[in-house]
Amino acid sequence: MKQPILELEHEARAWLIDVAAPVWSSRGRTASGLFAERMTLDGIPNDEYFRTFVQARHIYSMVAAGRAGWTGPWRELVGETMRVVIAKARRPDGFYVHRLDRDAAVLDGRADLYDQAFVLFALGTTGGALAEESFFDEAEALLDTIEANWTHPEGGFSEGEIVDPSVRRQNPHMHLFEAFSALHEASGRKRFGEAALAVADLCRTRLVDPVSGALLEYFGEDWTPAPGDEGRIAEPGHCFEWAWLFERLARSGAPGAVAVSDAMTAFGRRHGIDAQRGVAINEVLTDGNVVNGKARLWPQTERLKVAVVRYHRTGADEDLQEVADAWTGLSKYFLPEAQHLWRDKMNEDGSFIEELAPGSSLYHISCAIWEMCSLRTAGEALETAS
Residue-wise pLDDT tens digits, 128-166 = 999 999 999 999 999 999 999 999 999 999 999 999 999
Instruction: Indicate if the pLDDT at residue 317 is higher than 90.
Output: yes
- Whether residue 194 is contained in a domain is answered as no
Select the more confidently predicted residue: 28 or 355. Answer: 355
Q: What band does 127 get if pLDDT is binned at 50, 70 and 90? A: very high
- Whether residue 14 is contained in a domain is answered as yes
pLDDT at 385: 52
Q: How many domains does the chain have?
A: 1
- Whether residue 235 is contained in a domain is answered as no
Residue-wise pLDDT tens digits, 174-207 = 999 999 999 999 999 999 999 999 999 999 999 9
No. of H helices and E strands in the chain?
14, 17
Instruction: Calculate the CA dihedral of residues 102, 105, 107, 108 and round it to 10 degrees.
Output: 130
Give dist(CA 119, CA 137) in Å, integer. 13
Give dist(CA 108, CA 45) in Å, integer. 20
- Whether residue 375 is contained in a domain is answered as yes
Select the more confidently predicted residue: 379 or 125. Answer: 125
pLDDT at 377: 62
- Whether residue 1 is contained in a domain is answered as yes
Instruction: Indicate if the pLDDT at residue 384 is higher than 70.
Output: no
Amino acid, res. 70? W
Give the length of the chain. 386
Give dist(CA 278, CA 333) in Å, integer. 12
3-state secondary structure of 46: strand
Q: What value does the mean pLDDT take over residues 235-263? A: 97
Q: Which domain holds residue 65?
A: 1-110+356-385
Instruction: Indicate if the pLDDT at residue 283 is higher than 80.
Output: yes
- Whether residue 288 is contained in a domain is answered as no
Instruction: Give the single-character DSSP code of 343.
Output: -
Instruction: Indicate if the pLDDT at residue 379 is higher than 60.
Output: no
Select the more confidently predicted residue: 363 or 377. Answer: 363
Instruction: Indicate if the pLDDT at residue 386 is higher than 50.
Output: no
- Within a 10 A sphere around the Cβ of 379, how many other Cβ atoms? 19
- Whether residue 368 is contained in a domain is answered as yes
- Whether residue 270 is contained in a domain is answered as no
Asked if 138 and 194 count as a contact pair (C-beta separation under 8 A), the reply is no
